[in-house]
Every structure is written in structure tokens, then in C-alpha cells.
């Protein structure tokens, strides 16, 4: 009888369901559902897509409006420790560019974000952004090339421009002309999904 009782913990351990793998989204207002209900945002829609297609992943949205690469870098170690993600989606840079931060400094922050995520055992998906031309062609060009360079150096999947097909369509933008509206959120998801899906396992 004692031997049988001692077996129970091992039996329960084998029978216990594995924890759901986590997808951690580290982004700015574009991923924080700025100006709309959270459930309307593309990150919430991603959770629905995963469930409908048989993936057991849990999406954790660590995005914050106004976030910069530097701010995210300060918060990332704790998020990685707490959630232990299988995948990290990095959707950042827009606020760095709008503040005119030096591209090499932004690059350094991205380097650290990627390396920390990988060191924690996560795969990384990078989401690119572009800066309006009024910041000057040299700066805008260097900023746009930053994402391709990172993707090439680290061999990362890349969404080249997160607002592709959205930014110039007034029907998909909020009145501020900066943030996508609720109607644009499914389109944002469709830009992310083809790059994210190969990183997932059922």
C-alpha cells in the first residue's frame, strides 16, 4: 500500500497538462489598442485566431502607449522572467523615430531586446515601422533600413512595415492620422500572422 501511495505524485505529474506556451507582445500604442477597446485590438484578435486554428498558446500583451525601445528594454527582463515566453513579438521604434533619437542608439536597444529574448529561450518576430518624410530623407531612410539590417543579422522573421496598406487609407486611421482604427486591426493581424505562424508548434 505504501508503494502505491508513493507512486501517486509521479502519476499526477505525468497526467498534469503542460502549461500553455506564451507569445509575449512587446509594443507601443499600435499593439496596445490605443483609442479603442482592448478586445478590438489586433493582439486580442490574435488570441482568437490561435484558438480557432487549434493552437494552445496564450498571448500576453506587454505593450504600452508611448513606449520606446529604451523603455521596453528596462521592462523586458521582468516580463521574460514572469511569463517565460516561447515567442516574443517586438513591435517598437515608432516613438523613437518620432522623437528623432539617433538610429545607432535605437539599434543598440533592439540588439539588447533581441539578445535578452533569445537568451530566455524565445523565438523573436520583428515588426518594422517607417518614419514620415518630414524628418528628412536621410533619417527616414536610415530608420527604415534598421529593421532589415536587424532581421538579416539575427536571421529573424520580419514584418517590413506594420502599417502597410493602412497608413495612407483615411478609412483605416483614427482622426489623429497616426493610429489605426478598429477597422484596421484585422489587417494588422494579417500582416503579422504569416510571419508568426512558422514560429508556432501545436
Tell me if the domain spanning 20-196 has CATH number 3.40.50.1110.
yes
Question: Using CA atoms, how far apart are residues 147 and 201, in angstroms rounded to an integer?
Answer: 26
* Residue appearing with cell numbers 520606446: 68
Residue pair 38/103 in contact by the 8 Å Cβ criterion: no
Phi, psi of 59 (to 5 degrees): -95, 125
Question: Using CA atoms, how far apart are residues 91 and 69, in angstroms rounded to an integer?
Answer: 9
The whole-number pLDDT of residue 135 equals 85
Query: Of residues 52, 170, 175, 176, which has the active-site annotation?
Result: 176
Question: Using CA atoms, how far apart are residues 155 and 125, in angstroms rounded to an integer?
Answer: 10
| Cell matching residue 92 | 517598437
Phi, psi of 92 (to 5 degrees): -145, 170
Residue pair 192/43 in contact by the 8 Å Cβ criterion: no
- Domain regions of the chain by residue span: 20-196
Q: Is 52 a catalytic residue?
A: no
Residue pair 24/77 in contact by the 8 Å Cβ criterion: no
Question: Using CA atoms, how far apart are residues 169 and 158, in angstroms rounded to an integer?
Answer: 23
Q: Is 28 a catalytic residue?
A: no
For the chain, 202 residues long, give each residue's pLDDT as a single digit of tens: 433 333 333 333 333 335 899 999 999 999 999 999 999 999 999 999 999 999 999 999 999 999 999 999 999 999 999 999 999 999 999 999 999 999 999 999 999 999 999 999 999 999 999 998 888 999 999 999 999 999 999 999 999 999 999 999 999 999 999 999 999 999 999 999 999 999 998 7
The whole-number pLDDT of residue 134 equals 84
Query: Of residues 29, 31, 63, 117, which has the active-site annotation?
Result: 29
* Residue appearing with cell numbers 506587454: 62
Residue pair 154/124 in contact by the 8 Å Cβ criterion: yes
Question: Using CA atoms, how far apart are residues 34 and 40, in angstroms rounded to an integer?
Answer: 10
Q: Which helix (H) or strand (E) holds 144?
A: helix 137-154
Q: Is 152 a catalytic residue?
A: no
The whole-number pLDDT of residue 18 equals 52
Amino acid at each position: 500500500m505504501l508503494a502505491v501511495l508513493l507512486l501517486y505524485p509521479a502519476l499526477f505529474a505525468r497526467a498534469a497538462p503542460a502549461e500553455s506556451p506564451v507569445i509575449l507582445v512587446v509594443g507601443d500604442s499600435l499593439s496596445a489598442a490605443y483609442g479603442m477597446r482592448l478586445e478590438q485590438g489586433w493582439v486580442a484578435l490574435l488570441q482568437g485566431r490561435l484558438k480557432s486554428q487549434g493552437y494552445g498558446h496564450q498571448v500576453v500583451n506587454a505593450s504600452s502607449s508611448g513606449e520606446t525601445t529604451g523603455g521596453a528594454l528596462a521592462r523586458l527582463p521582468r516580463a521574460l522572467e514572469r511569463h517565460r515566453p516561447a515567442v516574443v513579438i517586438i513591435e517598437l521604434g515608432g516613438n523613437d523615430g518620432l522623437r528623432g533619437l539617433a538610429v545607432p542608439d535605437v539599434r543598440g536597444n533592439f540588439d539588447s531586446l533581441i539578445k535578452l529574448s533569445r537568451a530566455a529561450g524565445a523565438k523573436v518576430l520583428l515588426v518594422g515601422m517607417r518614419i514620415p518624410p518630414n524628418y528628412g530623407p536621410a533619417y527616414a531612410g536610415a530608420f527604415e533600413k534598421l529593421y532589415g539590417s536587424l532581421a538579416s543579422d539575427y536571421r529573424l522573421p520580419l514584418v517590413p512595415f506594420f502599417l502597410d496598406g493602412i497608413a495612407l487609407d483615411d478609412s483605416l486611421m483614427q482622426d489623429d492620422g497616426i493610429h489605426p482604427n478598429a477597422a484596421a486591426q484585422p489587417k494588422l493581424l494579417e500582416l503579422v500572422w504569416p510571419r508568426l505562424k512558422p514560429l508556432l508548434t501545436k
